[in-house]
Amino acid sequence: MPTTYTAGNALRTYCEAFERRAADELVQLFADDAVFELPLHDGRIVGRTAILDEIRTALRGLEKIKVILEHIVESDTEVFAEGIFQADPIGIHPRLDGSPVRLDFKFVAIVTVSDGKVTRWSEYFDTKPLKPRERTHLYPISRRSAYWEGTVDAGVSEFMVYNHTYLPLVYHHSPAEEYAALTERVTLWDVGGERQTELRGPDALRFAQYLTTRDLSKLKVGDCKYTLVCDPDGQIICDPVLLHPWKDVIWLSHGDADLTLWATGVAMNSGLNVEVREPDVAPVQIQGPKSLEMLRGLVESPLDGLGFYKCFTTKVAGIDAVVSRTGWSGGLGYEVFPLSSDQAMALWNGLIEAGRAYGLMVTGPNVFRAVEKGVTDTAYYSNSNMNPYEAGHGRLVDLEKGDFVGRLALQKVATEGAKRKTVGLLIDGELPELEWYWPLSDERGNPGEVRWAVHSFELQRNIAIAIADAGLEVGETVQIHHQAGISRATVTTVPFV
Amino acid sequence: MTLQIHLDSYCKAFNGRSLDAALSLFSDHALFEMPLLGQRLFGKGEITAGLRRIFEVTESATIALSGRKESLRVIIAEGQLDAKLHRDSSSVRIPLAISLEAQDGRISRLSTYLDARPYRLWSDRVIFATSQPSSN
């Protein structure tokens, strides 16, 4: 492999290595202070290390790459080329009809070489066709998050409606870019749609004990707990993170369920002295290995001592807030709950500014990582009549703590054994986008359904979480029936990594 | 006419907003690619409508080239487009590249490369339902 290049050789070497996804072959190509300009980025990338990081991230999200150079006009030190780039993006499902999503576009590349190394790499192409989707159509009946302005500035293109609120899911990044940002740097999520059901009053803790499935008798101010709320039949309504930020105040930070309405109804007949309401508190999540480092200078109280599933009240970027070491990434991360929406954008802007030094990326909650880590959400249980034992959350049910909603039904399940269980699936081949649950089949019939399915960047294959017959064993194979055909899958355990 | 002269003539006509001068440079069956228009345009009829659309929606639009390389078949250049829409209060500057080929003394293909995503509202509608040039 050469260590110095003419401009034309550099261009061809780059394109060939890119096709083979061989980023390591490009280490010798760039000068230490090389400049890399792509329309996909707001600014130029400077320096060999940063350029190679960018290329590795890009390659992680692409396969079946082909670069066709149609015209090359070159001298020893400079080349102007025109060509066509083709690739399949990883992590973006084929269309509903099964046809693949392709990244095909024409480009011009201009490469300058000095002393045998690339000092400038500039590309020109239109990124408009590369957007996964146009922005979701919006309806005024759904609420906008307190961070709306910030997410629009960050290029949000798709939302889901979550607790009657638009929750940003998709921005103008590839899934691979977002996965890299979450697992290697730090990400900021607008989860203002993650609402709080506040229980306030002298009986707040007693009421929480009755409403949820875990034992809270030893709960102290500053504690958080992942817990469940079930209906009288023992079926999961949602799986909130419970925070105890102050005496006589409990927050149930919950997924997409009308928990405040449910809790209000239960409280009305409880005889307990407790008020139930939805406070004006819209959280953000700061997730990723650099989250602590990034937040340290912004959070007034010492953050290093904040343990897993603990919270405190402090100031963040000068804004009064509750900070908890919780989140949906399965790794290091925090949630910040500003105590009023009026201050939400000031908090957001402070986080954006502090994050620049750490490569902060604004993203949605990363379902790719969540599934790898087996971190589920209310959406996993919805429309399924699933009880905690079937969900793999039997440990979150304390039948000995005294009466609580659903206890009798759950006692019966615990005694008789759950009829279903949650399993992982390692899937062969491609999958379309999951828009409704996919049935499973095997020689015994229909043993369950896929409820979440994603590409695993860590395992480099498709994976899924399914609710299945309790008799289905690890290592058995099943067929997944989806809108693009049938895929074979092997049963495994969750989490995947 | 060399490719370089074709390119310079096109830029001069474009910057001068001279539809006739620009069209005279293209062959009857030329291909014109401009991401801001969202479509590949074939032939003088479509190119006429496309350029007219650009001139209609812009108060000013100027291409400035900063570098170029030429072979016998193609010239590739880079530079920038400064443009101001009538509806906007300020202009935008967009990095751009142009690739141009010619045959029998006329431009047979002119492809403009720029990132239209932030600016595509210029023309996010079908402007060429037919290839007939607009009458106004």
User: Which chain A residues are Cβ-neighbours of B71 within 8 angstroms?
Assistant: 71, 73
Best residue in B76, B98, B125 for a mutation probing chain A (most A CBs within 10 Å): B76
- Is the domain spanning A7-130 CATH 3.80.10.10? The answer is no
CATH superfamily placement of domain A148-194+282-369: Probable tRNA modification gtpase trme; domain 1 (3.30.1360.120)
- pLDDT of A1 > 80? The answer is no
For testing contact with chain B, the best of A6, A37, A82 (most B CBs within 10 A):
A82
Please give the full DSSP string across A444-456, using - where no structure is assigned: TEEEEEEEEEEEE
Is cis: bond before A495, omega within 30 of 0? Answer: yes
Cβ <8 Å between B76 and A131: no
Which CATH superfamily groups domain A419-497? Aminomethyltransferase beta-barrel domains (2.40.30.110)
Domain A195-277: give its CATH code.
3.30.70.1400
Q: Does a structural domain hold residue B101?
A: yes
Q: Within its chain, how far is the Cα of A11 from the centroid?
A: 36
Residue from A123, A126, A172 whose CB has the most chain B CBs within 10 Å, to mutate? A126
Range in A30-39, A91-100, A475-484, B97-106 the model is least confident about: A91-100
Contact A128 B117 (CB under 8 A): yes
Return the higher-pLDDT residue of A329 and A269: A329
| pLDDT beyond 90 at A152 | no
DSSP state of A440: E
Across the interface, whether the CB atoms of A110 and B111 are under 8 A apart is answered: no
pLDDT digits (tens, 9 = 90+) for A355-379: 999 989 999 999 999 999 999 899 8
**pLDDT tens digits for range A71-107:** 999 999 999 999 999 888 887 766 555 555 677 889 9
Q: Say how far apart CA A17 and CA A376 lie, in whole Å.
A: 38
Q: Which of A171, A160, A168 is nearest to A191 (CA)?
A: A168
Distance separating alpha carbons of residues A206 and B136, to the nearest angstrom: 76
State how many domains chain B has: 1
**A82 and B76 Cβ atoms separated by less than 8 Å:** yes
ipTM: 0.85
Closest residue on chain B to A75 (Cα): B69
- Residue labelled with tokens 């019966």: A412
| Chain A interface, Cβ < 8 Å to B | 37, 39, 71, 73-75, 78-82, 106-108, 110, 122, 124-128, 131, 172
Instruction: Please answer whether residues A390 and A416 qualify as being in contact, where contact means their C-beta atoms are separated by less than 8 angstroms.
Output: no
Q: Distance (Å, rounded) from C-alpha A219 to C-alpha A227? A: 13
Residues A162 and A194: beta-carbon distance below 8 Å: yes
- Per the CB < 8 A criterion, the answer to whether A5 and A13 are in contact is yes
- The closest CB to that of A73, out of B38, B70, B120, belongs to B70
Say yes or no: B80 contacts chain A, CB-CB below 8 A. no
Would you place residue A133 in the very low, low, confident or very high pLDDT band (cuts 50, 70, 90)? low
Q: What is the mean pLDDT of residues A152-162?
A: 87
pLDDT at B127 over 60: no
Q: B26 is in which domain, residue-wise? A: 3-114
| A110, A122, A126: residue with CB nearest B114 | A126
Chain B interface mutation, best of A124, A134, A171, A172, highest count of B Cβ atoms under 10 Å:
A124
Domain with CATH 3.10.450.50 in chain A: 7-130
Domain with residue B43: its CATH number is 3.10.450.50
**Predicted confidence (pLDDT) at residue B134 exceeds the cutoff of 50:** no
Give the minimum alpha-carbon distance from A8 to chain B in angstroms, rounded to a whole number: 13
Report the residue from A37, A74, A128 with minimal CB separation from B35.
Answer: A128
Cβ separation of B74 and A73 shorter than 8 Å?
yes
The boundaries of every CATH 3.30.70.1400 domain in chain A are 195-277
Backbone angles phi, psi at A291, to 5 degrees: -65, -40
Answer whether B69 sits within 8 Å of A107, measured CB to CB. no
Query: Given an 8 Å threshold on Cβ–Cβ distance, is A108 in contact with B76?
Result: yes
Residue B60 lies in a domain: yes
Average pLDDT, chain B: 84
Q: What is the pLDDT of residues A200-245, one digit of tens each?
A: 999 999 999 999 999 999 999 999 999 999 999 999 999 999 999 9
pLDDT reading at A321 higher than 60: yes
Q: Which of A417, A350, A446, A7 is nearest to A150 (CA)?
A: A350
Cβ distance A124 to B115 less than 8 Å, yes or no, reads yes
A361 vs B103: CA distance, rounded Å:
48
pTM score, two decimals?
0.76
Are B78 and A127 inside 8 Å of each other by CB? no
| Minimal-distance CA residue of chain A relative to B33 | A106
Contacts of A110 in chain B (CB under 8 A): 67, 76, 78, 97
Report the percentage of chain A scoring pLDDT > 70. 96
* Contact across the interface for A82 and B75, Cβ inside 8 Å: no
Q: Is the pLDDT of residue B85 over 60?
A: yes
Q: Do B113 and A81 touch (CB under 8 A)?
A: no
Count CA atoms within 13 Å of residue A122 on its CB side: 20
List the single residue in A78, A122, A124 with the smallest CB-CB distance to B69.
A78
